[in-house]
């Protein structure tokens, strides 16, 4: 597969370069690399508790904290974050949302709270920023609805709910790349739905022209019927879905990620679709909110396990076994680290970060296979000499990040 020249066809080799724990020690529910702005591709945002942190993942394993925010409301718990872009100035925007159901838009360049968008009746579980038009962000909520916001003009453009909508919490969202904007959503009602925006392009255009400050709010359009809907792909919560081109990657709580082709050709789809591939996971059963992530080019799929490991897959190959298995060094002795809620994969798959349940982060960098073998020997030696937690990470990145932050 020559999709990603950086990723070798054979076995993949990654080396742990850093780990740290955030002071709140709450679960890190989300971590996301900036895939929107190319220049800022090394920025990683994480959320946990009422805190959001922006890290810069420098080459060589250094993870320096650039900015940190916390919500004034201590009861707030951020569940999700996403990167966007100010379409006027090109400034990077960080979107935060969580338990209170408000979507916060922070300008990470100037330190300005751009806006706080309200409308959801309950917690927001996921944010998906439209990759082509980053002013559009969709949010999935516990109130069984999905909303599409224009964060530039600060209005709610579309509301996906109703008879054809979800009947329980919506957990996850994904945008299909390409001109036909298709939104994929899934949730606790086991349904996976595809929403088409083809009928609502005028509304989207109108929202760009709209100016806040009027007495009335934007005339939000209601979308009640999805383009495609099935509850027969998974028989439990669907906690993560992603588009892989025209195919769908979906994960439930039963130790496998399905790659399948939804039959979206006709409105009255007789069949739901066909399974193309099942990725075999380990230790993911019966725990929900364990999400996988893909790099921008969708060549590296990373998913955590309940034992704190990260499994890497190549979704384009026909292999259901992982290409690499990343284990935190600090778990070398006990063979057990806190479970991984979410993983983040950088733009080209060079960096994989795991967000653990205890507020810690682990970072792995890709290395060539030959240097990996060398590294493994080194690590074995280290493990013999040192004891956890001192052996938890390579001393190099730790000390460097410590110097930087001081």
> Which stretch of DSSP H or E encloses residue 125?
strand 124-129
Q: Which of 6, 60, 168, 335 binds another protein (CB under 8 A)?
A: 168
Give 369's strand partners: none
Q: Which of residues 15-34 bind another protein (CB under 8 A)?
A: 19-24
Residue among 271 and 370 whose Cβ is closer to another protein: 271
Q: Where are the alpha helices (DSSP H) in 95-225?
A: 201-209
Name the helix (H) or strand (E) containing 155.
strand 155-160
Asked if 398 touches another protein (CB under 8 A), the answer is: yes
Residue 111 in contact with another protein, rule: CB under 8 A: yes
| Exposure letters 212-232 (e unless 16+ CB within 10 A, then b) | eeeeeebebbebeebbbbbee
Q: How far is the CB of 392 from another protein (least distance, A)?
A: 7
Binding mask 308-337 for another protein (x = CB under 8 A): --------x-x-------------------
The C-alpha R_g of the chain, in whole angstroms, comes to: 21
Site for another protein in 36-95 (CB under 8 A): 36-40, 43, 51, 53-54, 56, 64-73, 76, 85, 87-92
Pick between residue 67 and residue 264 the one whose CB is nearest to another protein: 67
The answer to whether residue 213 forms part of the interface with another protein (CB under 8 A) is yes
Q: Which stretch binds another protein (CB under 8 A): 304-312, 333-341, 369-377, 389-397?
A: 389-397
Partners of 57 in beta bridges:
63
Cα 150 from chain centroid?
A: 20
Contact 252, 235 (CB under 8 A): yes
Residue owning tokens 């993870």: 63
Letters for 138-157 (x = contact with another protein by CB under 8 A, - = none) are ----xxxx--------xxx-
DSSP conformation class of 218? P
Q: Least CB distance from residue 316 to another protein, whole Å?
A: 5
Q: Among 5-13, 276-284, 301-309, 371-379, which window interacts with another protein (CB under 8 A)?
A: 276-284
Q: DSSP assignment, residue 386?
A: -
Residue number with CB closer to another protein (295 or 343): 295
Alpha helices in 119-200 (DSSP H): none
Instruction: Name which position in 26, 269, 283, 297 contacts another protein (CB under 8 A).
Output: 297
Q: According to the binding rule CB under 8 A, does residue 376 interact with another protein? A: no
Residue 374, token pair as written in the block:
């060398």
């Amino acid at each position: 597969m020559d999709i990603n020249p950086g990723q070798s066809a054979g076995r993949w080799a990654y080396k742990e370069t850093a780990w740290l724990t955030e002071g709140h020690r709450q679960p890190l529910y989300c971590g996301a690399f900036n895939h929107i702005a190319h220049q800022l591709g090394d920025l990683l945002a994480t959320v946990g508790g009422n805190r959001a942190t922006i890290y810069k993942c420098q080459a060589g394993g250094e993870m320096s904290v650039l900015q940190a925010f916390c919500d004034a409301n201590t009861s707030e718990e951020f569940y999700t974050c996403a990167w966007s872009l100010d379409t006027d100035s090109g400034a990077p925007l960080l979107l935060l949302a969580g338990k209170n159901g408000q979507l916060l838009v922070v300008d990470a360049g100037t330190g300005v709270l751009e806006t706080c968008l309200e409308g959801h009746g309950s917690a927001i579980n996921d944010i998906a920023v439209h990759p082509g038009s980053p002013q559009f962000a969709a949010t999935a909520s516990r109130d069984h609805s999905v909303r599409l916001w224009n964060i530039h003009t600060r209005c709610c453009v579309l509301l996906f709910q109703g008879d054809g909508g979800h009947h329980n919490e919506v957990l996850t969202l994904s945008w299909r790349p390409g001109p036909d904007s298709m939104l994929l959503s899934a949730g606790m009602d086991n349904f996976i739905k595809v929403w088409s925006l083809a009928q609502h392009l005028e509304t989207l255009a109108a929202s760009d022209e709209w100016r806040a400050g009027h007495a009335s709010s934007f005339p939000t359009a209601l979308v009640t019927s999805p383009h495609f809907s099935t509850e027969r792909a998974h028989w439990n919560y669907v906690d993560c879905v992603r588009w892989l081109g025209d195919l769908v990657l979906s994960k439930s709580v039963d130790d496998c990620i399905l790659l399948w082709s939804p039959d979206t050709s006709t409105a009255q789809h007789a069949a739901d679709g066909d399974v193309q591939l099942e990725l075999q996971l380990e230790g993911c059963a019966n725990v929900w909110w364990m999400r996988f992530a893909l790099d921008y080019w969708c060549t590296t799929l990373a998913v955590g396990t309940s034992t704190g490991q990260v499994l890497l897959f190549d979704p384009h190959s026909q292999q259901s076994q992982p290409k690499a298995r990343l284990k935190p060094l600090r778990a070398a002795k006990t063979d057990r680290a806190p479970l991984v809620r979410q993983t983040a994969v950088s733009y080209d798959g060079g960096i994989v970060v795991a967000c653990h349940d205890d507020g810690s982060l682990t970072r792995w960098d890709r290395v060539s296979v030959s240097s990996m073998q060398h590294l493994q020997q080194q690590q074995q030696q280290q493990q013999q000499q040192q004891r956890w937690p001192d052996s938890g990470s390579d001393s190099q990145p730790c000390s460097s990040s410590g110097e930087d932050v001081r």
